[in-house]
Amino acid sequence: MRKLVLPLALATSCFASAVAAQAPAPSPVTGNLTLASEYRFRGIDQTNGKPAVQGGFDYAHASGVYLGNWNSNVSSGAGYPNGNIEMDFYGGYKKAFGDFGADVGFIYYAYPGTSPKIDNKEIYLGGSWKFLSAKLFYSLDDYFSAKGSRGEDTSGTTYLDLAANYDMGNGWGVVAHWGHLNFKHVSNGSYSDWKLGVTKDITGWVLGAAYVGTNAKGSCSAGELYCFPAQAGGTPSRDAGRNTIVLSVGKTF
């Protein structure tokens, strides 16, 4: 029996090596699809309380270079006149240093069909440690094509994003976020937003529930900035930064 041990071990090792050699390398391209009860961008409602269908793809090279696209429906009443879709295009470079990570890149937000044209260009710099991350965004031109309270240039508007994504095991996760927008030259434009939620992975489908809130000035009666005006068809005006619960289901493939 002892004479059989080594040949069997070698045969098993060779078989395992052959299987490993035949296993295909992970694809550098991934896709994602999400259905959400509403779309919140930096805490502000983008779909007037209606559901959002979202999705895109990402390409990640072994060097750390990445490119991607992400899309969502939006409401024209959310500041995108005659537009109903958001298309984001981004690229950058990520690098890991043990438990630490760095991320630098550029993102372009496009809203086809908007008139006047609405878009935004930002660069960003981020860092992470285990389940914690921080990222700063800097607008290169007028922030989402908005001018200041007296017609000033709003380029240089910044957004700070602090986040935690903690894996509790068995498919459960906790997500937390705090952000702050410094809206340059816009009265009552700066605000903070926050999110606290839970996720559950069920065979690759991720269910999510999160409480989202802001201190954005959205009183319609006072004519404040973050307010959906009443729309044709009987849709009433509403505070776009109101606190709410957002439900979602998504999958990466």
Q: Is 45 helix (H, G, I), strand (E, B) or coil?
A: strand
Residue 65 lies in a domain: yes
Q: What's the distance, Cα to Cα, between the start and end of the chain in Å?
A: 48
What does the pLDDT look like over 182-216, one tens digit per residue? 999 999 999 999 999 999 999 999 999 999 999 99
**What tens digit of pLDDT does each residue of 9-67 get?**
444 444 455 555 566 778 999 999 999 999 999 999 999 999 999 999 999 999 999 99
In 61-204, DSSP assigns E strands to: 65-73, 85-97, 100-110, 119-129, 132-139, 158-169, 172-182, 191-202
> Which one-letter amino acid corresponds to residue 92?
G
The verdict on residue 16 lying in a domain is no
pTM: 0.89
Per-residue pLDDT, 221? 85
pLDDT digits (tens, 9 = 90+) for 81-108: 999 999 999 999 999 999 999 999 999 9
Name which of 172, 186, 176, 182 is nearest 213 in CA terms: 176
Q: What total number of domains does the chain contain?
A: 1
What pLDDT does residue 233 have?
Answer: 67
Q: Residue 53's beta-bridge partner residues?
A: 35
Classify residue 20: in a domain, yes or no.
no
CATH number at 160 reads: 2.40.160.40
Residues in the chain: 253
Q: Which domain holds residue 177?
A: 26-252
Q: Is residue 21 part of a domain?
A: no
Residue 6 located in a structural domain: no
Closest by CA to 119, choosing from 128, 110, 127, is: 110
